[in-house]
């Protein structure tokens, strides 16, 4: 029972306009200065078919979708079956369904606790009357929700206008009409339920923006100076490429859709060699194909950023659902000893920051950086305070000194940091031969043990400096709490809220979420975990990849417990709370 | 003053384009001829080494960037083309060449070839065809002739070889040529034309492996050469003509087999960039407008 928050779920078939309705609600809420997250679920069909969205609106900070709903809108009960497990109701939750009084009861295959009330609204009739088409049912629904939960009407009307403006004033008016009839039906027929009212903040918050994680990744890359993108479509990362196809050329960059992921990373390396800040984006199967080239980037010391928007399962798995199970592939999926950096954004706005950081590290240290986003972040739409885009930690590569005798230029010069001056064709005078084959400081091939050993030392040396320099770790809760939770990436949302709720309940608990997973600043992490009696490691991986990765980098506190499970269902706030309570 | 200065500036020499690194190739390997031809072509074109890059995959032949005094990248097996394409897109002002063997380009790397052709990006691809895998010591190659006995086809190959020139023509490459590493002078001319061609230029160079195929292959090829540029009946702009010389019996046509003028990727990109110039988003910061509510 949180009057400062409202959780909605909508489910229907293609054509019901579930997503369009969701987006209108999200923008309207953002206009009111509220925070908002919308998750989309689709059935396995490519187009049409059933779809659902889950929206959380709150005046508080909002890190994750809520576990259960206040209001569930069912356009179609047969579609509910597929998503029921994701759309469970709170004890006071109500259902809105299409129907006339006196219609026979439909079969309602509820999952979880039964609704407090089911409200039948003649959506089809309203839509026909107002707009002459059943397509406007979703507008009637928005009206009904506004009537029920006292949502800001004007902002919704504005959002509806935005959506239909292109189609002319008549269409806008018709949709307004459907909205109003839906709202009035609720007002006239249903007693207001206080429990599902959203109390809006009295002071208007900072301006909000609404974007997806994939938008945020693409935008962040451009802000970081990325001007080359090569990629191959794969769910759930494709929107990054789609976004860049529009904006890359407008800012003097190149974006190319390649024949496969191998070509994608190859082109990225080619472009990077000639001085472009370059990236690709993919999902698990694509990352696997890129593996050999990640090794190449590592040994030839070529900056590049690879975004992996993770999905569930090996192979095709469950491509439309999220998981955190490419961690091992990202960190260790190489042949030979091939240092790379792995970092992970935790939510939509974080994607922007992590991309800026990824390019900074990659360019400065001339090393491949893998960014592990996931489907739940990439495809979620979030409203949040406008990020500050003026902070760009841009980095220009170390060039060889201009007065150096070209014959003396050593591309792979041994230095204290492991970073050597990188000559750029067409910019610098010094030419060199780069190689995936082991080489000496000049780039000439070698197969000697000593040189291989020294080159490995050089390349790995960078990791120490990186761990030292980029080691942002989020942490929540009191420093001296005896119980802690350690998580990464998108798990942060549920973990953070679980910790906040538990603190409210009087449990002293804290959470730590590192942004760079490899190389990990173990000193810093140890300090944060130091006072703990019990530690819970949380992740969305059945085999416990995060736990295993941590173990390779440090000794975990004695009392460490693990909670890792498969993806394809989001981590719930209560799920984490239950796990933590057990430790007390 | 300036005229006397010009007089003392020496013309670029092929040796200017060679590194001190001693090639690891077997004595008599055809790839020496390709190396010499490239150095001569670079000198003839007076390419600036700082603005030239040779990208290769893996194989004996792919060692070639190490021996050329330009920017070079000896990368991974089969990916010379997309890396070269990335470099060219990254900076279209550079002269970019891709180089490698038949295994590199037409086994593991085959998938990239049709796309290089259709995109018509301005790079030159020199494929050194020795009909065998040299570096891994004598296995079957996609261009090994039928019945050829190799370490992995002990009873003779039961496969039909692929014809790289035919493939290039089928993929609508805008410049397709064949050369022979035993005729360096002729090869230099082809390479120069290829580099000058404003689009994707594919050059198959017959470059025998003396170790795993045998020295006699040089003679076999030499005796069958048919120079298209000396053939008054040959019009290389006619694609039908070109297909006729792909797989001849008793002779091997060398020279520029086909050339056509399709707009290059860069031409089209320039058009695209012009078209989007009118865009209202002049700064990255203004893109935030897309997300403000
Ligand atoms: C991914 C991968 N697979 C296999 C190899 C082993 N390999 C190296 S070179 C080569 C074939 C070389 O043949 P070709 O490209 O014709 O070049 P040549 O040595 O004959 O000049 C192979 C199979 C490799 N380096 N990488
Ligand atoms: S093995 Fe064959 S291709 Fe390789 S260097 Fe020797 S002769 Fe040349």
Summarised one tens digit per residue, pLDDT across range A258-297 is 999 999 999 999 999 999 999 999 999 999 999 999 999 9
Please give the Cα distance from A414 to A396 (Å, whole number): 20
The C-alpha of A398 sits at a distance from chain B's nearest C-alpha, in angstroms, of 17
DSSP string spanning B162-208?
A: P-HHHHHHHTT-SEEEEEETT-HHHHHHHHHHHHHSSS-EEEEEE--
Exposed / middle / buried, residue B258 (Cβ in 10 Å: 0-12, 13-18, 19+): buried
Residue A582: strand, helix, or coil: coil
Q: Do A434 and B74 touch (CB under 8 A)?
A: yes
The average pLDDT across A472-488 equals 97
8 A C-beta contact, residue A419 and residue A364: yes
Residue B35 beta carbon below 6 angstroms from any ligand 2 atom? no
Please give the Cα distance from B286 to A18 (Å, whole number): 30
Report pLDDT for A112: 86
Chain A interface includes B58 (CB < 8 A)? yes
Please give the Cα distance from B277 to B269 (Å, whole number): 12
Report pLDDT for A45: 67
The C-alpha of B120 sits at a distance from chain A's nearest C-alpha, in angstroms, of 13
Query: What residues have CB less than 8 Å from A356, skipping those under 6 apart?
Result: A220, A223, A224, A391, A392, A393
- Dihedral in degrees, nearest 10, Cα atoms A112, A113, A116, A118: 30
Chain B interface includes A294 (CB < 8 A)? no
Please give the Cα distance from A563 to A486 (Å, whole number): 10
List the structure tokens of A491: 């798990």
Q: What is the 3-state secondary structure (H, E, C) of A72-106?
A: EEECCHHHHHHHHHHCCEEEEEEEEEECCCCCCCC
Confidence of residue A207 (pLDDT cuts 50, 70, 90): confident
Residue B174 beta carbon below 6 angstroms from any ligand 2 atom? no
B220 Cα: distance to centroid of ligand 2 (angstroms): 18
Chain A interface includes B111 (CB < 8 A)? yes
State yes or no: pLDDT of B4 exceeds 70.
Answer: no
B120 Cα: distance to centroid of ligand 1 (angstroms): 26
Taking only the tens place, the pLDDT of each residue in A87-121 is 999 999 999 999 998 889 999 998 888 999 999 99
Chain A interface includes B18 (CB < 8 A)? no
Confidence of residue A206 (pLDDT cuts 50, 70, 90): confident
DSSP secondary structure letter of residue A439: B
**Ligand 1 — pocket residues by CB below 6 A?**
B 58-61, 77, 100-104, 128, 130, 132-136, 141
Determine which of A99-108, A165-174, A246-255 has the lowest per-residue pLDDT on average: A99-108
Q: Do B293 and A230 touch (CB under 8 A)?
A: no
User: Can you tell me which atom of ligand 2 is nearest the CA of B137?
Assistant: 1
Report pLDDT for B1: 41
Exposed / middle / buried, residue A457 (Cβ in 10 Å: 0-12, 13-18, 19+): exposed
DSSP secondary structure letter of residue B18: B
Taking only the tens place, the pLDDT of each residue in A431-475 is 999 999 999 999 999 999 999 999 999 999 999 999 999 999 999
- Dihedral in degrees, nearest 10, Cα atoms A139, A145, A148, A149: -140
DSSP H helical ranges for chain B:
2-8, 31-45, 80-90, 102-103, 113-119, 164-170, 184-196, 216-222, 239-244, 265-276
Report pLDDT for B263: 96
8 A C-beta contact, residue A42 and residue A10: no
Mutate to test the interface with A, among B62, B71, B94, B271 (most CBs of A within 10 A): B71
Q: Do A431 and B70 touch (CB under 8 A)?
A: yes
Q: How far is CA A122 from CA A13, A56, B32, in A?
A: 18, 25, 83
Taking only the tens place, the pLDDT of each residue in B31-42 is 999 999 999 999
Mutate to test the interface with B, among A218, A260, A433, A443 (most CBs of B within 10 A): A433
Query: Which letter, b or e, does each residue of A403-431 get, where b requires 16 or more Cβ atoms within 10 Å of its Cβ?
Result: eeeeeebbbbbeeeebbbbbbbbbebebb
For A575, other C-beta atoms within 10 Å of its C-beta total: 16
Taking only the tens place, the pLDDT of each residue in A10-30 is 999 888 899 999 999 999 999
Please give the Cα distance from B40 to B194 (Å, whole number): 14
Residue B137: strand, helix, or coil: coil
Q: Do B85 and A270 touch (CB under 8 A)?
A: yes
Percent share of chain A, pLDDT over 70? 98
Query: What residues have CB less than 8 Å from A386, skipping those under 6 apart?
Result: A206, A207, A208, A209, B288, B292
8 A C-beta contact, residue B177 and residue B193: yes
Determine which of A51-55, A77-81, A193-197, B286-290 has the lowest per-residue pLDDT on average: A193-197
Chain A interface includes B291 (CB < 8 A)? yes
Nearest CA in chain B to A31: B293
Spatial CA neighbour of B181 closest among B222, B142, B212, B139? B222
Query: What residues have CB less than 8 Å from A404, skipping those under 6 apart?
Result: A430
Query: What residues have CB less than 8 Å from A306, skipping those under 6 apart?
Result: A265, A268, A279, A280, A281, A282, A287, A290, A294, A368, A369, A370, A371
User: Can you tell me which atom of ligand 1 is nearest the CA of B100?
Assistant: 15
Q: Do A445 and B89 touch (CB under 8 A)?
A: no
Among the bound ligands, the one closest to the CA of B106: 1
Please give the Cα distance from A408 to A419 (Å, whole number): 17
Please give the Cα distance from A488 to A494 (Å, whole number): 11
Contact pairs from chain A to chain B, CB under 8 Å: 174
User: Can you tell me which atom of ligand 2 is nearest the CA of B130?
Assistant: 3
Q: Strand pairing of A304-310 and A368-374?
A: parallel
List the structure tokens of A218: 């693409």
Q: Do B86 and A31 touch (CB under 8 A)?
A: no
User: Can you tell me which atom of ligand 2 is nearest the CA of B135?
Assistant: 4
Q: Do A425 and B50 touch (CB under 8 A)?
A: yes
Please give the Cα distance from A49 to A54 (Å, whole number): 17
Residue B107: strand, helix, or coil: helix
Mutate to test the interface with A, among B83, B108, B285 (most CBs of A within 10 A): B83
- Geometric angle at alpha carbon A99, from A98 and A103, rounded to 5°: 150
The average pLDDT across B14-39 equals 97
Q: Do A259 and B115 touch (CB under 8 A)?
A: yes
Q: Do B55 and A270 touch (CB under 8 A)?
A: yes
Confidence of residue B3 (pLDDT cuts 50, 70, 90): very low
Q: Which A residues 516-555 touch B at CB under 8 Å?
A: none
B133 Cα: distance to centroid of ligand 2 (angstroms): 9
8 A C-beta contact, residue A459 and residue A298: yes
Query: Which letter, b or e, does each residue of A374-385 get, where b requires 16 or more Cβ atoms within 10 Å of its Cβ?
Result: bbbbbbbbbbbe
Chain B residues whose beta carbon lies within 8 Å of the beta carbon of residue A278: 86, 90
Q: Which helix (H) or strand (E) holds A449?
A: helix A449-469
List the structure tokens of A311: 């999905």
8 A C-beta contact, residue A256 and residue A230: yes
State yes or no: pLDDT of A1 exceeds 50.
Answer: no
Q: Could you report the predicted ipTM of this complex, rounded to two decimals?
A: 0.96
List the structure tokens of A536: 């819970």
8 A C-beta contact, residue B176 and residue B106: no
Report pLDDT for B278: 81
List the structure tokens of A239: 């929107």
Beta pairing partners, A3: none
- Geometric angle at alpha carbon B71, from B65 and B73, rounded to 5°: 50
Q: Do B84 and A270 touch (CB under 8 A)?
A: yes
Ligand 2, atom 2: nearest CA belongs to which residue? B209
- Dihedral in degrees, nearest 10, Cα atoms A25, A30, A32, A33: 150
Confidence of residue A2 (pLDDT cuts 50, 70, 90): low
For B256, list phi and psi in degrees, rounded to 5.
-80, 110
State yes or no: pLDDT of A193 exceeds 70.
Answer: no
B291 Cα: distance to centroid of ligand 1 (angstroms): 49
Q: Do A428 and B112 touch (CB under 8 A)?
A: no
Please give the Cα distance from A397 to A577 (Å, whole number): 46
Beta pairing partners, A50: A13
Please give the Cα distance from B183 to A545 (Å, whole number): 58
Chain A interface includes B8 (CB < 8 A)? no
List the structure tokens of B149: 């006995």
State yes or no: pLDDT of B116 exceeds 80.
Answer: yes
Please give the Cα distance from A418 to A456 (Å, whole number): 10
State yes or no: pLDDT of B218 exceeds 50.
Answer: yes
Please give the Cα distance from A463 to A275 (Å, whole number): 22
DSSP string spanning A120-156?
A: EE-HHHHHHHHHSSGGGHHHHHHHHHHHHHT--HHHH
Taking only the tens place, the pLDDT of each residue in A52-93 is 999 999 988 888 999 999 999 999 898 898 888 889 999 999
Chain B residues whose beta carbon lies within 8 Å of the beta carbon of residue A205: none
Residue among B79, B103, B128, B181 to mutate when testing ligand 1 (max atoms within 8 A of CB): B103
Q: Strand pairing of B52-56 and B95-101?
A: parallel
Please give the Cα distance from A35 to A56 (Å, whole number): 8
Taking only the tens place, the pLDDT of each residue in B140-183 is 999 999 999 999 999 999 999 999 999 999 999 999 999 999 99
Q: How far is CA A344 from the centre of its chain?
A: 9
Could you tell me the pTM of the whole model? 0.96
Chain B residues whose beta carbon lies within 8 Å of the beta carbon of residue A437: 58, 74
């Amino acid at each position: 029972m949180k009057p400062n928050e409202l959780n909605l779920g909508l489910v229907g078939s293609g054509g019901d306009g579930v997503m369009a309705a969701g987006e209108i609600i999200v923008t309207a809420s953002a206009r009111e200065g509220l925070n908002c997250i919308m998750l989309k679920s689709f059935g396995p069909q490519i187009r049409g078919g059933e779809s659902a969205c889950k929206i959380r609106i709150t005046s508080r900070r909002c890190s994750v979708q809520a576990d259960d709903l206040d209001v569930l809108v069912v356009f179609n009960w047969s579609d509910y079956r597929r998503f029921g497990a994701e759309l469970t109701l709170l004890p006071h939750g109500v259902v809105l369904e299409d129907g006339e009084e006196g219609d026979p009861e439909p079969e309602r295959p509820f999952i979880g606790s039964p609704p407090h009330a089911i409200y039948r609204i003649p959506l089809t009739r309203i839509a026909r009357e107002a707009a002459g088409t059943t397509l406007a049912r979703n507008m009637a629904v928005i009206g009904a929700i506004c009537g029920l939960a006292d949502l800001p009407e004007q902002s919704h009307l504005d959002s509806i206008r935005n959506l239909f403006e292109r189609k002319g004033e008549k269409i806008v008016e018709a949709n307004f009409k459907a909205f109003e009839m839906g709202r009035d039906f609720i007002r006239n027929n249903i007693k207001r339920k206080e429990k599902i009212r959203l109390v809006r903040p009295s002071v208007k918050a900072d301006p909000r923006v609404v974007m997806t994680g994939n938008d945020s990744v693409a935008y962040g890359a451009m802000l970081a100076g990325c001007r080359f993108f090569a990629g191959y479509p794969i769910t759930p990362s494709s929107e990054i490429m789609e976004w860049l196809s529009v904006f890359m050329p407008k800012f003097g960059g190149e974006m190319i859709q390649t024949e496969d992921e191998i070509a994608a990373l190859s082109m990225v390396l080619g472009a990077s060699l000639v001085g472009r800040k370059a990236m690709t984006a993919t999902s698990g199967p694509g990352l696997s194909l890129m593996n050999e080239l990640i090794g190449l980037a590592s040994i030839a010391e070529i900056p590049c950023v690879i975004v992996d928007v993770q999905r569930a399962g090996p192979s095709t798995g469950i491509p439309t659902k999220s998981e955190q199970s490419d961690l091992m592939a990202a960190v260790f999926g190489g042949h030979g000893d091939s240092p790379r950096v792995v970092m992970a954004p935790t939510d939509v706005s974080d994607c922007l920051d992590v991309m800026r950081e990824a390019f900074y590290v990659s360019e400065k240290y001339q090393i491949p950086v893998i960014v592990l986003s996931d489907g739940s972040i990439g495809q979620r739409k979030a409203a949040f305070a406008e990020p500050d885009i003026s902070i760009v930690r841009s980095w220009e590569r170390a060039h060889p000194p201009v007065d150096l005798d070209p014959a003396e230029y050593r591309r792979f010069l041994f230095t204290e940091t492991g970073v050597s001056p990188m000559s750029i064709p067409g910019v610098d005078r010094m030419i060199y031969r780069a190689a995936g084959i082991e080489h000496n400081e000049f780039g000439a091939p070698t197969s000697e043990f000593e040189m291989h050993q020294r080159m490995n030392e050089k390349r790995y040396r960078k990791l120490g400096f990186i761990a030292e320099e980029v080691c942002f770790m989020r942490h929540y809760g009191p420093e001296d709490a005896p119980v802690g939770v350690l998580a990464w990436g998108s798990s942060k949302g549920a973990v953070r809220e679980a910790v906040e709720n538990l603190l409210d309940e009087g449990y002293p608990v804290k959470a730590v979420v590192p942004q760079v997973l490899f190389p990990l600043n173990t000193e810093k992490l140890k300090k944060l975990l130091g006072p703990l009696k019990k530690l819970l490691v949380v992740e969305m991986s059945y085999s416990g990849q995060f736990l295993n990765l941590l173990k390779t980098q440090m000794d975990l506190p004695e009392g460490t417990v693990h909670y890792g499970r498969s993806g394809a269902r989001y981590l719930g706030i209560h799920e984490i709370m239950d796990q933590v309570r057990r430790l007390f | 003053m300036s005229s006397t200065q010009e007089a003392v500036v020496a013309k670029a020499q092929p040796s200017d384009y060679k590194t001190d690194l001693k090639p690891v190739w077997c004595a008599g390997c055809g790839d020496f001829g390709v190396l010499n031809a490239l150095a001569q072509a670079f000198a003839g074109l007076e390419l600036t080494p700082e603005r030239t890059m040779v990208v290769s995959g893996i194989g004996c032949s792919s060692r070639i960037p190490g021996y050329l005094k330009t920017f070079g990248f000896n990368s991974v097996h089969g990916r010379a083309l997309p890396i070269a394409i990335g470099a060219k897109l990254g900076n279209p002002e550079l002269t970019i060449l891709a180089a490698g063997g038949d295994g590199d380009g037409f086994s593991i790397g085959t998938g990239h070839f049709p796309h290089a052709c259709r995109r018509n990006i301005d790079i030159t691809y020199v494929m050194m065809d020795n009909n065998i895998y040299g570096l891994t010591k004598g296995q079957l190659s996609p261009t090994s002739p039928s019945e050829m006995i190799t370490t992995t086809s002990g009873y003779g190959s039961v496969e039909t070889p692929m014809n790289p020139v035919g493939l290039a023509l089928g993929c609508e490459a805008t410049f397709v040529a064949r050369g022979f590493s035993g005729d360096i002078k002729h090869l230099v001319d082809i390479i120069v034309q290829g580099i000058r061609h404003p689009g994707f230029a594919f050059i198959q160079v017959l470059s025998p492996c003396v170790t795993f195929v045998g020295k006699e292959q040089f003679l076999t090829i030499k005796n069958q050469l048919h120079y298209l540029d000396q053939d008054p009946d040959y019009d290389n702009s006619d694609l039908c003509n070109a297909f006729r010389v792909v797989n001849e019996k008793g002779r091997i046509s060398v020279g520029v087999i086909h050339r056509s003028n399709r707009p290059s990727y860069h031409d089209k990109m320039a058009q695209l960039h012009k078209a989007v110039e009118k865009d209202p988003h002049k700064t990255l910061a203004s893109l935030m407008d897309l997300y403000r509510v």
